[in-house]
Amino acid sequence: MQWFGKIFSVLVLGLSLSGQLLAKDVLVESQSAFKSALKKVVPGDAIVLKNGVWSDFEIGFFAEGTAQQPITLRAETPGKVIISGRSNLRLAGNYLIVEGLVFKNGYTPTEEVIAFKRNDSHLANNSRVTQVVIENFNNPDRDSSDYWVALYGKHNRFDHSYLAGKRNLGVTMAVRLDSADSQQNHHQIDHNYFGHRPILGSNGGETLRVGTSTYSLTDSHTVIENNYFDRCDGEVEVISIKSGKNVIRNNVFFEARGTLTLRHGNGNLVEGNVFFGNGAAHTGGIRVINRDQIVRNNYLEGLTGTRFGSGFAVMNGTVNAPINRYGQVVNAQIENNTFINVDNIQLGAGSDAERNAPPVNSRMQKNLVFNDTAADVFKIFDDMSGIAFAENVLHNADSASLKQGFGSKKITMKRNAAGLLMPQGDAYKNIGAAASLQPIKKSAVGPQWYEKKADRVEFDSGKVIAVDAGVEDSLFSAIAAAETGDQLVLAPGRYKIAKLLEINKVLSIRAKKSGTVVILPGRTTLFEIQNGGSLKLSNLTIDGSESPDSAGNILIRTLKSGMYVSYRLLVENTKVENLNINHSHHFLNAGSRSLAEEIRIQNSEINKITGDLLKLDKEIDDLGNYNAETLIVDKSRFTNIEGALLSMYRGGTDESTFGPHLLFTQNHVEKVGQGSRNKLQASLYLHGVQYTRIGNNQFVGTAGIVIEHTVGDPDTEINANRFSKVPALKVSELHTKGDSTVKYVGNREE
């Protein structure tokens, strides 16, 4: 029978050979050519998109490959096929591969840029999307929600890709478990570069979410490994796990404002991850909720976050919690983690009347806690007897609340070749993260052919351009011609501005010599900051006395609504006066859904304004949005302002953001807020501001300060101010009972 076997194997070989000979690459140059190629495609084939820009291309890649012979859709040259305009990609079927496409200069008209499904009944399985780029592919309506990548089906892989610059509402990447066909999915998400995600200023800015609360008791078995999360600052959750049995392994979180949160679902494994906060604001680590979670061999360094955004938090929950609330922590194993200069380790976080069940049957052992100062970084909010603490080592600090299971030692640390600080000496060999831990390098993730760019252009990083006062419309023309990062340097003289100055790039405008340049707005608005715009004004005088004689003039405004790129505004050594031709002449009026990353006014003088100075109060629909992340006002003089100096509003009950922040220091404020049109009856009106420091200012003959605390844990200090003929501070706690948490210390009232 030997001959039969021989002939049979030759036959099979011949068949598979002929199968391979039939497999072909089909180069297509148009959307219609793609569609006809797709009709003829057989296992082993590749459809190759010709290099160039493909506009308004909704790619439907529906086919059936086999494990041995998948069907591929790829770029002729990786990175040279640009998908732009209103475009997206849906793939459905089995054994499909998509490779080398770049999505930019557009946005998806549907819910997803890349979806692993055609519709709810036709999903992708056993398929792979690799080496794709999605960059700044944003719906210009920031409230219009979409996902950049949504995984459905089972056994799919998304790898070596680049996702950066998402600015509209919606998770960057989501694993969906909405039907049985997408549960126990065993997806793989690896070697991706999750680049900068700017602060969204509301909920819905997570970078990666696995599951939703509805299906959270279902296991997902998704593996998330060797990814790099670079400044994923969208909101408080960088990764939100909302399903069971996922593995989150060997990822790096670089200066990410937020945490890896085990929000819903049980039995997840978090190991070998490295967090480098570098002391940046609101950098967080890992937050543990629910049952059977294992957190081991992670390395966390330089994290400043607190509360739910802490470097490490184990939350209180509720026994038999409703599915969308907080499950009690049961059987958590937290071991061999290293915490270095992590400002907050919180146990029983969120303890309140509802979240009244502390962790049980859990252990925390062989962890290393090292701080340069002897500070006690632990905060304990409930009875922690449900956690067995053993063999944990604290450097040079006794934690008052945690004596059992913690030894205080003086440890010498040394940074190893992988960039991690490790304790010296054999005594610590089995304490903290393993010496073999190797954080994935930024260069090892994403497509190798795509450069990882800095997302933000700094002021004054470009050319210096001279502007002459004697030439008609010289400033207008210089702004139009400038490139982002440039600085316009104005020669001495008076600049009458006859046209709206539209700022859609990063620009700085300054006088060559302080006190020699006067800008005279001639229109109802001087500057409009648009998407991509940021503005720095230095050494100027802006005089409103030649403004049109109409009510409601504005010196600086943003787009009136729907701005989706956040901006910066800096005003320094600048004098603004005579915004008083008619009533309600405002200095800055932010449009709804505009978000300033930072507004800074320093060493400036503002005098004679009939309206408000800073109107950051357009988000009155109470959805948790606000108009400025950080506002800094320092060493400046504000006099004769009829409206409010500041109106800042952040409403609603959402807790997924950190801002707004206000620093108001060393200013002189006189005759402010007393005009009859100032409905707020306040000089500073703060509603829902999360962080406030008002210190070392003088208020003379002004309206009072009004503070309304809402949700979160608002942190407000009013220190060392002098109030002369100013009504008393008004504080309301709108969401918590009991005394106000405002710290009011060392102020002088006369």
Binding site for Ca ion (CB under 5 A): 203, 237, 656
C-beta separation of 647 from 615 below 8 A = yes
**CA atoms 348, 349, 353, 357: torsion sign:** negative
Q: How far is the CB of 629 from Ca ion (least distance, A)?
A: 17
Question: Which CB sits closer to Ca ion, 213 or 607?
Answer: 213
174 vs 537 by CB, closer to Ca ion:
174
Q: Tell me the DSSP string of 506-566.
A: EEEEEESSTTSEEEEE-SSEEEEE-TT-EEEEES-EEEGGGS-S-TT-EEEEE-SB---S-
558 and 142 Cβ atoms separated by less than 8 Å: no
The identity of residue 137, as a single letter, is F
Residue 291 carries which DSSP code? Answer: B
Name the token pair of 343. 């400002």
Q: Tokens 């404002």 — which residue?
A: 257
Count of other CB atoms within 10 angstroms of residue 36: 11
Nearer to Ca ion, 200 or 482 (CB): 200
Closest by CA position to 495, among listed 526, 469, 533, 464: 469
Q: How far is the CB of 240 from Ca ion (least distance, A)?
A: 6
Question: Coil, helix or strand for 328?
Answer: coil
For residue 261, the minimal CB distance to Ca ion (Å) is: 8
Q: Compare residues 288 and 479 and give the one whose CB is closer to Ca ion.
A: 288
Query: Is the bond preceding 140 in cis, omega lying within 30 degrees of 0?
Result: no
**Dihedral in degrees, nearest 10, Cα atoms 656, 343, 411, 428:** -20
- Closer residue to Ca ion (CB): 147 or 527: 147
Q: How far is the CB of 236 from Ca ion (least distance, A)?
A: 6
**Nearest residue (CB) to Ca ion, 656 versus 710:** 656
Q: Which is nearer to Ca ion, 156 or 656 (CB)?
A: 656
Residue nearer to Ca ion on the CB measure, 358 or 652: 652
Residues with Cβ within 8 Å of 697's Cβ and at least 6 positions away in sequence, in order, are: 664, 665, 666, 667, 668, 669, 721, 722
Residue closer to Ca ion (CB basis): 293 or 656: 656
Q: Are 590 and 563 in contact, with CB atoms under 8 Å apart? A: no
Name the residue nearer to Ca ion (CB basis): 207 or 716.
207
Smallest gap, in angstroms, from Cβ of residue 49 to Ca ion? 36
What's the distance, CA 327 to chain centroid? 26
Q: Which residue is nearest to Ca ion (CB)?
A: 656
Complex with Ca ion: residue 237 or 597, whichever CB lies closer: 237
Select 237 or 292, whichever has its Cβ closest to Ca ion: 237
Q: Tell the smallest beta-carbon distance from residue 511 to Ca ion (Å).
A: 45
And the tokens for 379? 């905060």
Query: Please, are residues 565 and 538 in contact by the beta-carbon 8 Å criterion?
Result: no
Q: Return the number of other C-beta atoms located less than 10 Å from residue 471's C-beta.
A: 12
| Residue 10 burial by Cβ neighbours in a 10 Å radius (0-12, 13-18, 19+) | exposed
Q: What whole-number distance in Å separates Cα of residue 654 and Cα of residue 657?
A: 8
Q: Which CB, 209 or 395, lies closer to Ca ion?
A: 209
Q: Is the Cβ–Cβ distance between 104 and 133 less than 8 Å?
A: yes
Shortest distance in whole angstroms from residue 276 CB to Ca ion: 23
Which residue in the block uniquely carries the two structure tokens 């792979």? 128
SS3 34: helix
Please give the C-alpha separations between residue 190 and each of 156, 275, 446, 725, in angstroms, as whole numbers. Answer: 11, 17, 9, 63
Q: CB 203 → Ca ion: shortest distance, Å?
A: 5
Residue 258: CB minimum distance to Ca ion, A: 9
Q: Is 444 helix (H, G, I), strand (E, B) or coil?
A: helix
**Cβ pair 733, 706 in contact under 8 A:** no
Give the C-alpha separation, 440 to 273, whole Å. Answer: 9
> Residues 482, 465: contact at Cβ < 8 Å?
yes
Which lies closer to Ca ion via its Cβ, residue 365 or residue 656? 656
Smallest distance from Ca ion to CB 209, Å: 8
Tell which residue, 227, 283, 286, has the closest CA to residue 255: 283
Q: How far is the CB of 206 from Ca ion (least distance, A)?
A: 5
* Residues facing 269 on adjacent strands: 247, 294
Q: Which residue has the tokens 């002391």?
A: 279
Write down the least CB distance from residue 237 to Ca ion, Å. 5
Nearer to Ca ion, 203 or 592 (CB): 203
**Least distance in Å: CB of 214 to Ca ion?**
15
Name which of 423 and 624 has its Cβ closer to Ca ion: 624
CB of 145 to Ca ion, least distance (A): 12
- Least Å distance between CB 178 and Ca ion? 18
Where do the DSSP E strands lie in 351-504? 362-365, 368-370, 378-380, 387-390, 392-395, 406-409, 413-415, 421-423, 464-467, 487-490, 493-497, 501-503
- CA torsion sign, 509 to 512 to 515 to 521? negative
CB atoms within 10 A of CB 302: 17
What minimum distance in Å lies between the beta carbon of 626 and Ca ion? 16
